[in-house]
Amino acid sequence: MDLTDKTILITGGTGSFGKACTEVLLRDHAPRTIRLFSRDELKQSELQARYPDESRLRFFIGDVRDRERLVRATRGVDLIIHAAALKQVPACEYNPFEAVQTNIMGAENVVSAAIANNVPRVIALSTDKAVNPVNLYGATKLCAEKIVTQGNAYATDSESRFSNVRYGNVVGSRGSVVPIFMAQALAGTVTITDERMTRFWITLPQAVEFVLSSLRLMEGGEVFVPKIPSMRVIDTADAIAPDAERVFTGIRPGEKLHEVMLTEDESRHAQELDDRYVVVPEFPTWRSAPYTHGPPVAEGFRYSSDSNDRWLTAQELQAMLPSLQLVA
């Protein structure tokens, strides 16, 4: 999808991803307008101050829980990037229905608003926590994935099409381990839950590029999964705070030792490209032609952070640190 002269709506537009995506769109593309939809007026005013002379930005105060406001915000829109979510695992565990209202009902509202206004393309951000979820955040994102995918069935009489991207931990986003370890290093003690723990690793610029490149590939219904490196959490600590004391605290509630981005069951209806996997829906009632992104994934394949064939070392992370975008 060529973004030239297009009107783009980003939900969660003042979050880590939304701000990074806005920067890339303004710099490397030529959109007509970018509508930033979020509920935080302070962050909106701060972002306005960052781009004082940018006439292509529009700031919409609103919540994805409010369908009527979304319908208004999506009028005349060519593309929705749905990035709004409650994503802090402890907060979602303590406030479960708040997470449901934002992450599940919000996804439904985005789909409904897009169909009401015949928005051609919608791509939603998911997470590896949605695969075999063990916490409420992951469960809500799994539901959101299903809602977005099945939105295509509700849109058969319109041009609206819906897809998801699913990726791992974003370095530098709010609550990610890198800024936490940086802060702890100043105090001389780093807390690590379990020395065996591994995580998928993606930077914010990589996440933005992956979403935009998936947008060009999407036909409606896919879940796009990037091929990205894994890293042991203890190696992350070694890279950021090599001289700090290590304190092992044990796995927290709702946490896994390793993350999975593609299960054996999903691999039966997944295809592989050079830089990503594409999970295609098993029963795409809205399509008459098969998906042809690439060859099928091998039977029984499992894409897990502990069995990855790509690993990031502490030395490689140290080399990356000066260029990382650590976002408030």
Residue type at position 204: L
Could you tell me which residues come within 8 angstroms of residue 57 by beta carbon, excluding any fewer than 6 positions away?
22, 26, 33, 34, 36, 47, 48, 51
- Give CA–CA dist 4/6, Å, rounded: 5
Strand partners of residue 126: 166
Strand partners of residue 34: 8, 57
DSSP state of 210: H
Asked if 302 and 263 touch (Cβ cutoff 8 Å), the reply is yes
Handedness of CA 134, 139, 141, 143 (dihedral sign): positive
Cα 54 from chain centroid?
26
Task: Tell me whether residue 146 is one of the annotated catalytic residues.
Answer: no
- Whole-Å CA distances, 85 to 82, 137, 148: 9, 9, 14
Phi, psi of 272 (to 5 degrees): -120, 135
Residue 280 burial (10 A CB sphere; 0-12, 13-18, 19+): buried
| Identified catalytic residue from 19, 43, 87, 129 | 129
Asked if 57 and 13 touch (Cβ cutoff 8 Å), the reply is no
Half-sphere exposure of 105 (CA within 13 A, CB side): 13
Asked if 220 and 286 touch (Cβ cutoff 8 Å), the reply is yes
- Give CA–CA dist 289/246, Å, rounded: 55
Cite the active site residues.
129
